[in-house]
Amino acid sequence: MVKYSKEPDNPTKSCKARGSDLRVHFKVAWPVKSAKGSFWIYSRNAESNAEVKRLRCGRAYISQSQVNQAQKQRRRHLSMPWEGLNVECFFLLILL
């Protein structure tokens, strides 16, 4: 079961998209560029979820979008010490 930070009022007329532990490689600009980079992918995913539920995609709007930073992980094989850190994020999108 996937946990969302907010549940829609009417779940039959809404659709959701979520990504976990996504690698984003944008240095120094954590929230802005990582959100823009993955927003397009998850908006398309939410639209296809709406089509499966037979909802009107043209009238849909974004009720909530949220990007959280995930736990940092390191690569096992490093050529240089500064190449080991990855930035990972959780992405959540709800369409109504």
pLDDT at 28: 59
Mean pLDDT of all residues in the chain? 73
**What are the tens digits of pLDDT across the range 53-90?**
888 877 777 777 777 777 766 666 656 665 555 667 77
Which sequence spans correspond to the domains of the chain? 14-71+86-95
Q: Give me the CATH code for the 14-71+86-95 domain, please.
A: 3.90.470.10
- The one-letter amino acid code at 45 reads N
> What is the average pLDDT across 7-15?
81
Alpha-carbon gap, residue 49 to 96, rounded angstroms: 12
Note the helical H segments in the chain.
30-52
Measured from the Cβ of residue 14, the count of other Cβ atoms closer than 10 Å reads: 19
Are 3 and 90 in contact, with CB atoms under 8 Å apart?
Answer: no
